[in-house]
Copies of this chain bind each other. A is one copy, B any other.
Amino acid sequence: MNLYLEKASALAPELIRTTVMPFEKEENRRSLKKGDKVVFDFGDHQVGYVTLKMKSVGSPQDAPAFIRLKFAEIEKELHENADDYDGWISRGWIQEECIHIDVLPAVLELQRRYAFRYLEVSVIDTSQKFQLVIEDVSLSAVSSADQASVDPLGLQDEKLKKLDKVSIRTLQNCMQDVFEDGPKRDRRLWIGDLRLQAKVNYVLFRNYDLVKRCLYLFAGLTREDGKVSACLFTEPEYIGDDTYIFDYSLFFIDILKDYYQETNDIAFVEELWDCAYRQIELSRLEFDDTNLYANEETMSCFVDWKEGLDRQASAQAIYIQCLKNAVGLADVLGKTTIAQELQDEIQNKTEAALRYLWDDRQKFFVSGKDRQVSYASQVWMVLAGVVNKEEGALLLHRIAELNPEMGMVTPYANSHYVEALLMCGEKQQALDYLNYYWGGMLVQGADTFWEMYNPENPDESPYGSSIVNSYCHAWSCMPSFFIRKYFL
């Protein structure tokens, strides 16, 4: 294990455990025969370990009891049939178990961790001679986030209070041994999610060590050439994934810069500078002679799950933004030569963006050979400061008016849109959008914010079926950041 990983290990959090019981419901204590089911409602989104206490009634138990457990983050999942799933990611993510209980009474301590609000217990079979009674269900909920450390929100606006509350719960339930992207799925540390989680964490739980741990992990698990993985695994041991994405590797720099701004921890920046700078060196190879991002593979850069989205302009902008953040870090470390080189590159890349990707007739940034107009391209050019605040505000107004087919489908992409609005001083529009988009999930009954939400198609999934969607997903927890940074 290298030094980074050793330091990451030393920062492993102790999980906070809380016992949670479902709502009392007399009818859940009745005798259950073949085909019967009961649903336990834990009142809010939960992550943890479930224990069921069961007994038999009737004649002596003359066969194994056979039950199905279905864990659902939202109520709709209870009505979806796992057998119908035919998507492209593993059906192993569907939170269902079929379990035989040979001897009743029994205390069944489930060994797997689940993310859910509702637990449905169906009796597949008992026998003609006995029935099953669920005497008790309890949950040991886990998180490394301490809710007690969150400042009360000094606002009267009920809508904002609710957005904040649900964001807090979302981040809390994703904060485990690392910042997970989602406690149902994929249950691991993705750097794109981490960037947003860390920002929200700074205004809520202020768990700096967990961010530090995650950066050490990424730095300790780079590819041979120093490239930072898009995500990593902590079990059975620390493993960097073999997925590498342009924007995700670059975000290492952003996260480090944000961390420094929060903590002034120069020593840590010094330790990780080489890794951060290496991301620029490697990303630079993706540009052509005209200083344009030239990797045409669709998923070379993530940006959003929006199908058909061309990523060129977004990638160009993200690179510029990360160069700017790298300059900030180089300044801190007194690396003036490098800072100057990066400044020169910022200028070259910005000029290329304006020369080749700005369509002066349409007044939009365009992306790719087909000169696609999308929300994402405008948003990232604004965030990267390729246009100034005033131009940015106008650009964002124009794109909203056009409302191009190339919209945004993830809360991740929508967060960048809101961030861009706030950067341009468009507070009211940002607020309206928060209420429209995240508020839309609240109307749908969200206890935590979702991985995917398309207000025009709430069933949308990038995976072929919403049954594997994650309904508590870290990249959607930004409302708390916006509210606490801009609206207090």
Q: Which secondary structure dominates chain A's binding surface?
A: loop
Chain A, range 56-108, C-beta contacts under 8 Å to B? 59-66, 88-93, 97-98, 100, 102-105
**With contacts A92-B100, A112-B100, A128-B88 known, is A63 near B186, CB below 8 A?**
yes
In Å, the complex CA distance between A239 and B130 comes to 14
* A272 beta carbon closer than 8 Å to chain B: no
**With contacts A98-B98, A103-B235 known, is A127 near B89, CB below 8 A?**
yes
Partner of A60, one of B62, B185, B239: B239
- The residue in chain B whose Cβ has the minimal distance to the Cβ of A98 is B98
Known: A62-B233, A91-B125, A98-B98. 16 other contacts (CB 8 A): A59-B243, A60-B241, A61-B233, A62-B188, A63-B90, A63-B186, A66-B90, A88-B128, A89-B128, A90-B126, A92-B100, A92-B124, A92-B125, A97-B98, A100-B112, A105-B236
Copies in the complex: 2
- The residue in chain B whose Cβ has the minimal distance to the Cβ of A235 is B103
For A97, the chain B residues whose CB sits under 8 A away are 98, 100
Closest CB in chain B relative to A473 CB, distance in Å: 16
- The residue in chain B whose Cβ has the minimal distance to the Cβ of A185 is B63
Contact with B along A400-426 (1 / 0, CB 8 A): 000000000000000000000000000
In Å, the complex CA distance between A64 and B242 comes to 17
Chain A residues within 8 Å of B, Cβ to Cβ: 59-66, 88-93, 97-98, 100, 102-105, 112, 124-128, 185-186, 188, 233, 235-236, 239, 241-243
- The residue in chain B whose Cβ has the minimal distance to the Cβ of A59 is B242
Q: Are B91 and A124 in contact, with the CB atoms below 8 A?
A: yes
- The residue in chain B whose Cβ has the minimal distance to the Cβ of A229 is B60
Partner of A63, one of B66, B93, B98, B124: B93
Closest CB in chain B relative to A485 CB, distance in Å: 34
- The residue in chain B whose Cβ has the minimal distance to the Cβ of A239 is B60
For A88, the chain B residues whose CB sits under 8 A away are 128
For A243, the chain B residues whose CB sits under 8 A away are 59
